[in-house]
Amino acid sequence: MTCHRNKLSTAGSASPQVASGAAEVDLLMLVDVLRARAGLEQVREALDRDGLTFAWTKGQDRPHPLLSTEANLRTEIAAGFDRLKLSASKRGDDYGIEIGRNGRLKKW
Please tell me the predicted confidence (pLDDT) of residue 54: 86
Q: How confident is the model at residue 5 (pLDDT cuts 50, 70, 90)?
A: very low
Q: Side chain identity at 57, as an amino acid letter?
A: T
Contact by Cβ (8 Å): 99, 77: no
Q: Is the pLDDT of residue 46 over 50?
A: yes
| Rounded Cα–Cα distance for residues 98 and 8 (Å) | 15
Mean pLDDT of 53-61: 86
pTM of the complete model beyond 0.75: no
The three-state DSSP-derived secondary structure of 72-102 is HHHHHHHHHHHHCCCCHHHCCCCCCEEECCC
Helix (H, G, I), strand (E, B) or coil at 73: helix
Please tell me the predicted confidence (pLDDT) of residue 32: 93
CA separation, residue 12 to residues 4, 7, 19, 29, 66 (Å): 15, 10, 10, 16, 36
Mean pLDDT of 53-60: 85
Please tell me the predicted confidence (pLDDT) of residue 39: 96
